[in-house]
Amino acid sequence: MNESPSRSSGRYASIFRPGLFAGQTIIVTGGGSGIGRCTAHELAALGAHVVLIGRTLEKLERTAAELREDGGEVSFYSLDIRKEELVAETVGSIVQDRGRVHGLVNNAGGQFPAPLSAISQRGFETVVRTNLVGGFLMARELYNQTMEKHGGAIVNIVADMWRSMPGMGHSGAARAGMVNFTQTAAVEWAHSGVRVNAIAPGWIASSGLDTYSGAVKAMIPQLKKSVPLGRLGTEAEVAAAICFLLSEAAAFISGSTLRVDGAAPNASLIWPIQPPEDGQVQTYNGFHRAVTPKVLEPED
């Protein structure tokens, strides 16, 4: 993984113009770690007041401290977005405090590896509630409490599930549902000036990779062999796509899902993947606090 070009300066090296989100309030769920943390850093570096939401208070506090150390504006709320009353109450508090919310990054999610035959009803429903219902509740409450009157942009984070998702069928079903929710909300809320899009990350070198064990953990270092671009993506490459869809440059984009996956879903058995030569594939990692997942670190 290439080193961040901004490590020496201690600042996020965003490709976007300074102050892009100045004066805006943007919520990032799952903002305490991984892609959410990286996205929060880029948004704050571009002038946004970032509101972090997550279940683990310690992670939120740590990321908030990083943002403040880097000169960003941040607040945070610890809650389970699957609980309707808590979501409504929290969104109300944010709106009361900030006056308006300009953007939402529906990033919170999670799943566990298991074949469909071994997933209980409770396990299936838990993953669907995390990856679909919680995102719906956040978007609905923000629309009803502020965006219906003031407009805004919503970016839902889904996954590479285009050719099915064996071993994680519960997550695949939820993510597919979120894509359709994105398309439907884009139509129903367009009259209020609300744009709704989705980002579908492929295999990203993020802290979430370290949550897996056993056979899945052993497979992770080999994933790049199934990616035509020959590598895993960076958190910053996903964050940049999110920032684009939140920005004014995407003012006529709504109901779309942008893949950030190195063309992995397009790989074919009849066209063998040829590893790119050194220097042939560009990598972007503007996140000055990026950390390589342990599972991807070279073995001694």
Please tell me which residue, 298 or 135, carries the higher pLDDT value: 135
Residue 107 contacts by C-beta under 8 Å, 6 or more apart in sequence?
Answer: 28, 29, 30, 31, 35, 36, 39, 157
In a domain, 10, yes or no: no
Contact 276, 230 (CB under 8 A): yes
C-alpha–C-alpha distance, residues 252 and 151, integer Å = 14
pLDDT digits (tens, 9 = 90+) for 223-252: 999 999 999 999 999 999 999 999 999 999
- Residue 76: closest CA among 62, 24, 108: 62
The answer to whether residue 3 scores a pLDDT higher than 60 is no
In a domain, 6, yes or no: no
In a domain, 254, yes or no: yes
In a domain, 157, yes or no: yes
Average pLDDT over residues 186-209: 95
The answer to whether residue 83 scores a pLDDT higher than 90 is yes
Q: Give per-residue burial for 121-131: e unless 16+ CB within 10 Å, then b.
A: eeebebbbbbb
In a domain, 5, yes or no: no
C-alpha–C-alpha distance, residues 192 and 143, integer Å = 9
Note down the domain range covering 31: 25-296
C-alpha–C-alpha distance, residues 159 and 107, integer Å = 11
- Please provide the average confidence, as pLDDT, over all residues in the chain: 93
The answer to whether residue 279 scores a pLDDT higher than 90 is no
CATH number of the domain enclosing 61: 3.40.50.720
The answer to whether residue 86 scores a pLDDT higher than 70 is yes
146 C-beta neighbours (distance < 10 Å), count: 21
Q: Could you please report the per-residue DSSP string of 116-144?
A: GGG--HHHHHHHHIIIIIHHHHHHHHHII
What pTM was estimated for this model as a whole? 0.94
| Beta strands at 103-106 and 25-29: parallel, antiparallel or unpaired | parallel
Long-range contacts of 83-87 (CB under 8 A, 24+ apart): 84/137, 87/134, 87/137, 87/138, 87/141
C-alpha–C-alpha distance, residues 16 and 111, integer Å = 32
The answer to whether residue 163 scores a pLDDT higher than 50 is yes
pLDDT digits (tens, 9 = 90+) for 201-226: 999 998 888 888 888 888 888 999 99
Domain count, the chain: 1
pLDDT digits (tens, 9 = 90+) for 103-118: 999 999 988 999 999 9
In a domain, 13, yes or no: no
